[in-house]
Amino acid sequence: MRLRACIALLLFLSACATSAPRRNVPTAPDPRLSNLQRAAALPWTDGGRCVVREASQRWPVLVERCYRALDHDRIEFHDTTGRCAVASAGAAAVGIGFCVLAAPEIAVGAVIVLGVVVVGVAIKEALDAYELRHAYPEEAGTSRGTKVSSREAEAQRKPKLKPEPAGQDGFPPVPTEPMDRERRPECRPIPVPRASKDGPHNECADKFPPNRYPGMDVSVGGVRFDALQVGVRVLWEIKTHQFDKYNAFVQNMEIKKELKQIKKERNMAVACGYGFVIGVSTQAHKDALLAEDESLNISVTGCPR
């Protein structure tokens, strides 16, 4: 009897241990996401296409396959630990740069990038897609027809306050407003050739926000903007006039002309779910615009002429 009692007790404790929910179990980071984020800090001559193609590989393998696509004129490698001196001594070795970059953890000061890094277009699109898949799992199109999406399940748990329109049975809930706006074809950002031939102006538009599409304007809803900021839904209008050098009459005329353009751009940006920022070179230019419209979002870029 004692033996049976002990066995029963052990079975009971085992059942309790296995049935208890596991909490706070850390999930392993997605190696593809880690590689994309790591590569986003480096300049690539191909816009990051090689990185996106090889992102599922281990980081050293990715570096080996995409090393040639780096903009080597903008990177300095320093073997701060001394581990790469021997590795790069042989004729078949690719050099200290590859050894330093392929290390599991890059030492501080080992890789120095000259100038502002604009995230490669392909890398940015891949990161946006990853974020979208995790924010809205049903948008990824995976497991279609085999399981109910998280948003559908949530909708099923909530009581219906009013009947749905005819013909809409079985459709998922309408996504949040930014997603709906993103689906509107006219709200998709389209890179277009620069309208301005002004070199300093275009350079400021590329580097200061910075621009997701370097060397290009961005068209949204048929309205042209100087830049779409990397990593966020913010459109920019850049002004690099020598505003401080104008006389009072010319300054007044310039502000009136700019406000007419700014109103059109801001209305379209807001309608499509984007933020809107005006970049000006001087504080005086900012003050003059705010004196006419305090609601404007203005940033002083300091871009020279």
Per-residue pLDDT of 143-186, as tens digits, reads 333 333 444 444 444 444 444 443 333 333 333 344 444 457 88
CA distance 138 to 150: 8
**For residue 88, what pLDDT is reported?**
40
**Which residue among 113, 144, 166 closes a domain?**
113
Residue 280 lies in a domain: yes
**For residue 113, what pLDDT is reported?**
82
Residue 189 DSSP SS3 = coil
CA distance 36 to 54: 10
**Which residue among 113, 136, 160 closes a domain?**
113
Q: For the chain, first and last CA: distance in Å?
A: 95
**For residue 104, what pLDDT is reported?**
66
- CB of 179 within 8 A of CB of 150? no
Clarify whether residues 295 and 192 are in a common domain. yes
Residue 277 lies in a domain: yes
Clarify whether residues 200 and 293 are in a common domain. yes
Residue 153 lies in a domain: no
Residue 137 lies in a domain: no
**Which residue among 93, 113, 133 closes a domain?**
113
Clarify whether residues 106 and 194 are in a common domain. no
**For residue 95, what pLDDT is reported?**
66
**For residue 180, what pLDDT is reported?**
43
Residue 221 lies in a domain: yes
Q: Where are the beta strands (DSSP E) in 169-287?
A: 190-193, 216-220, 223-225, 227-228, 234-239, 275-280
Task: Give pLDDT tens digits along the chain (305 positions).
Answer: 544 544 454 444 445 544 444 555 455 568 888 889 888 889 898 888 999 999 899 988 888 889 888 888 888 878 777 777 644 433 333 567 778 787 766 666 678 888 777 788 888 888 877 776 655 454 344 333 333 344 444 444 444 444 444 333 333 333 334 444 445 788 999 999 999 999 999 999 999 899 999 999 999 999 999 999 988 899 999 999 889 999 999 999 999 999 999 999 999 999 999 999 999 999 999 999 999 999 999 999 999 87
To the nearest 10°, the Cα dihedral for 126, 127, 128, 129? Answer: 50
Structural domain tally of the chain?
2
Containing structural domain, residue 36: 31-113
Residue 107 lies in a domain: yes
CA distance 59 to 32: 9
**For residue 85, what pLDDT is reported?**
60
**For residue 79, what pLDDT is reported?**
74
Residue 167 lies in a domain: no
Q: Where are the beta strands (DSSP E) in the chain?
A: 75-77, 111-113, 190-193, 216-220, 223-225, 227-228, 234-239, 275-280, 298-300
User: Which uninterrupted H or E stretch holds 75?
Assistant: strand 75-77
Residue 10 lies in a domain: no
